[in-house]
């Protein structure tokens, strides 16, 4: 899911994703949604703690958020239905290469929904 140059084999046929970073973001979202769904169906707090502990080494949530705070956050999110949102952005370039520039005035209404 993290690869920028992604190729998968489906029914013996190689399929390459030409979208680079955008494809990678979509695959990561699908992966995290699947993990969250599986964990959301778990009612065992010990199993959730083990999953959180296993992910902790590669996860940075916030400088001030403890593992227990993270577990409480995840526990509170269980059962929520994820709804995709589209932020208004324009393609462009900067010193890093191709980027998307957020149209901040247009994005306010979308961002207010998740604040």
**Per residue in 37-76, pLDDT tens?**
777 777 787 877 777 777 666 666 667 777 778 778 777 7
Confidence at residue 14, expressed as pLDDT on a 0 to 100 scale: 92
How sure is the predictor about 30, in pLDDT bands with cuts at 50, 70 and 90? confident
Closest CA to 59 of 79, 77, 44, 74: 74
Strands 89-94 and 97-102, bridge-based pairing: antiparallel
Q: Which residues, other chains included, contact 105 with Cβ-Cβ below 8 Å and sequence gap of 6+?
A: none
Confidence at residue 57, expressed as pLDDT on a 0 to 100 scale: 66
Cα distance between residue 27 and residue 5, in whole Å: 12
Contact 50, 59 (CB under 8 A): no
């Amino acid at each position: 899911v993290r690869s920028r140059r992604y190729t998968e084999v489906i029914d013996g046929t190689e399929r390459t994703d030409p979208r680079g970073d955008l494809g990678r973001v979509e695959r990561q979202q699908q992966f995290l949604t699947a993990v969250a769904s599986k964990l959301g169906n778990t009612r065992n707090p010990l199993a959730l703690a083990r999953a959180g502990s296993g992910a902790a080494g590669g996860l940075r949530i916030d400088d001030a958020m403890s593992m227990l705070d993270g577990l409480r956050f995840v526990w509170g999110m269980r059962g929520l239905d994820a709804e995709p949102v589209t932020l208004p952005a324009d393609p462009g370039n900067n010193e890093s290469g191709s980027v998307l520039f957020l149209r901040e005035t247009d994005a306010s209404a979308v961002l207010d929904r998740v604040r």
